[in-house]
Amino acid sequence: MIKIAVLVSGSGSNLQALIDANLSGEIVGVISNRPEAYALQRAEQAGIQTTVIEHKQYPSRQAFDDVMHQQLLEWNVDLVILAGFMRILSPEFVQAWEGKMVNIHPSLLPAYKGMHTHLRVLKTGDTLHGCTVHFVTAELDAGQALTQGVLSVSHKDTAETLAERVHVLEHLIYPQAVEWICNGTIQHLNNGQVLYKGQPLTRPVQFCNF
């Protein structure tokens, strides 16, 4: 069974969705860089080990990442899930977990990498928006996209309503992508190629909510 660690900084609603999904992998631990993160309570309620590694207590990004890396090795982790983890990871850490680390981003990547995605979508006047689960690579929000949730933007939407609606989709597409990794439907090969059902994945599997 695949052993999973989830890295969090905040509310952890995506962590909750992963817990509730009864994945065929096992969530063996949750790491938070913030002691006050509500995600820690969610993990404890589910009987999952938690560790707080406060970035502020380390002299450098590399030193903080090294401690996380050691904890992941100690837990014998196969897959690292970033679920609202608000720290940029060092290239060394990303390389160590390449092909074994996924993230969810609130936009239809490659559109709107970075922050404030909902506001930027509204300013541009896009009619479609959503979220993307992707493998993590050294370049920000640029790894192979696995699943996407797509919704249509209403003229009544604000950044807040969009954030809420995208969150609903996140809770659908994140557990699905993770389950596909756990059961081998999605494979990351050593040469960097990603397979879906044994064939090269050329674009993410989309779930639409129109």
Which residue in the set 77, 146, 170, 177 belongs to the binding site for ligand GRF (CB under 6 A)? 170
Residue 12 found at the interface with ligand GRF (CB under 6 A): yes
Q: Kindly give, in sequence order, each residue whose CB lies less than 8 Å from that of residue 110, ignoring residues fewer than 6 positions away.
A: 141, 142, 145
CB of 50 to ligand GRF, least distance (A): 14
Amino acid at 63: A
Q: C-alpha angle with apex 68: 62 to 73, nearest 5 degrees? A: 120
For tokens 């207590």, what's the residue? 57
Residue 14 found at the interface with ligand GRF (CB under 6 A): yes
Quickly list H helices, 55-192: 61-74, 91-96, 117-124, 159-182
Considering beta carbons, is residue 54 or 164 the nearer one to ligand GRF?
164
**Dihedral angle sign, alpha carbons of residues 79, 81, 85, 87:** positive
Is 61 annotated among the ligand-binding residues? Answer: yes
CB 118 within 8 A of CB 76: no
Is 13 annotated among the ligand-binding residues? Answer: yes
Considering beta carbons, is residue 42 or 69 the nearer one to ligand GRF?
42
Is 33 annotated among the ligand-binding residues? Answer: no
User: Which residue's C-beta sits nearest to ligand GRF?
Assistant: 84
Residue 141 found at the interface with ligand GRF (CB under 6 A): no
**Annotated binding residues for (6R)-10-formyltetrahydrofolate, as ranges?**
61, 86-89, 103
Residues at the interface with ligand GRF (CB under 6 A):
10-14, 83-84, 104-106, 131, 167, 170
